[in-house]
Amino acid sequence: MDLLNTLVDKGLRRETPTRGEALAVLATSDDDLLDVVAAAGRVRRHWFGRRVKLNYLVNLKSGLCPEDCSYCSQRLGSKADILKYTWLKPDEASKAAAAGLAGGAKRVCLVASGRGPTDRDVDRVSDTIKAIKEQNEGVEVCACLGLLSDGQAERLRAAGADAYNHNLNTSESTYGDITTTHTYADRVDTVQKAHAAGLSACSGLIAGMGESDEDLVDVVFSLRELDPDSVPVNFLIPFEGTPLAKEWHLTPQRCLRILAMVRFVCPDVEVRIAGGREVHLRTMQPLALHLANSIFLGDYLTSEGQAGRADLEMIADAGFEVEGTDQVTLPEHRAGGGCGSHGGGGVCGSAPAGEDSCAGADEEGARRADEPRPDLVAVRRRGAGTDLAPNA
């Protein structure tokens, strides 16, 4: 296919594709899907080999958020039955991080709900960063605390933070449809503050909120313009109790096309498969490793993920290797921008507690790829903020 040959050539040269080419990737047929994956996989392997970076999320403060982001289970007015707790102490957060690092994670992402941190919150997180770094040599720490005020990014950098995450989530033209308590421009400003402070910027998107192909291309091109070192691609987890609970627009095939489009537009950037991969990619997750070079290990902020050991086995079975702390994530020409990358112990293949992993196999086999799967949305009940061991 001429389109794919063109996109591979451009990706190897770090040349931006046209909007039309990016839209064409999203419009490819299922018959062409493996060709699309193979082409984007060539670009991924050129810049990142067969390495997969593991990241681990620690939710420092869960729920109780005054913002109204429609996709979020922690939003103002959310009726989702999630864990709610205030700030973890530095030693509690460090202990939670240690589980992910023991499982092979290279980066810890410290996340707190809210509009943005107060100066006291920055002090809290700074103490947590120092505690994690003192106990774990070579670990990268990314903070994700919401909108930053002047000087806060510099303070986090001084405390030892390597990166800062703040996602654009969707296109500027549709941003007001999902959030009214802050603006798209506010988000762009925070990413720019992180850049200016010398932090490695991490910014991505959420797919599956009812957006058009044009919206997806718009946000990815906006991200390319901001030039973050890492781009997390989230797939909406439709939590019951949130405004987007009935939004089930994604199939595994569409998720793969979205990841391929992101790789073509951002060829030399760490592309991370983030929240929702288990819900929407399902058995196609290994194919996504040919497109993205980074994943989150284990659970997410308020939902359960695949068992950590299953993540590791999936990576090995697909012929990839876990990136070590002695390896630099980004290609050499990008490495000067920052460290260059960026979110209860289960057993491999384990079902959620109390469920029979074989139950309903005949019924599940009859499901269509585009059928809603609320059964796959499991609220996190272990790890940070609980007395149960984390999944790592």
Binding annotation for [4Fe-4S] cluster: 65, 69, 72
Residue 232's CB is within 10 A of a number of other CB atoms, namely: 28
Whether 144 is catalytic is no
Helix/strand/coil for 64: coil
Whether 109 is catalytic is yes
Q: Please state the residue numbers annotated as binding site.
A: 65, 69, 72, 109, 142, 202, 272
Residue among 44, 72, 157, 382 flagged as catalytic: 72
Residue among 75, 144, 202, 266 flagged as catalytic: 202
Q: Please state the residue numbers annotated as binding site for [2Fe-2S] cluster.
A: 109, 142, 202, 272
Whether 358 is catalytic is no
Contacts of 66 (CB under 8 A, 6+ apart): 76, 114, 115, 181
Residue among 44, 75, 107, 109 flagged as catalytic: 109
Rg over alpha carbons for the chain, rounded to the nearest Å, is: 19
φ, ψ (nearest 5 deg) of residue 295: -140, 165
Q: What letter would DSSP give residue 303? A: B
Whether 45 is catalytic is no
d(CA 320, CA 294): 11
One-letter identity of residue 114: G
Whether 368 is catalytic is no
Residue among 44, 65, 255, 334 flagged as catalytic: 65
Residue among 107, 257, 272, 309 flagged as catalytic: 272
φ, ψ (nearest 5 deg) of residue 151: 90, -15
d(CA 288, CA 40): 10
d(CA 109, CA 294): 13
Whether 65 is catalytic is yes
Q: Return the residue matching tokens 């490793």.
A: 289
Burial of 97 (0-12, 13-18, 19+ CB in 10 A): buried
d(CA 23, CA 17): 10
Which residues are designated catalytic? 65, 69, 72, 109, 142, 202, 272
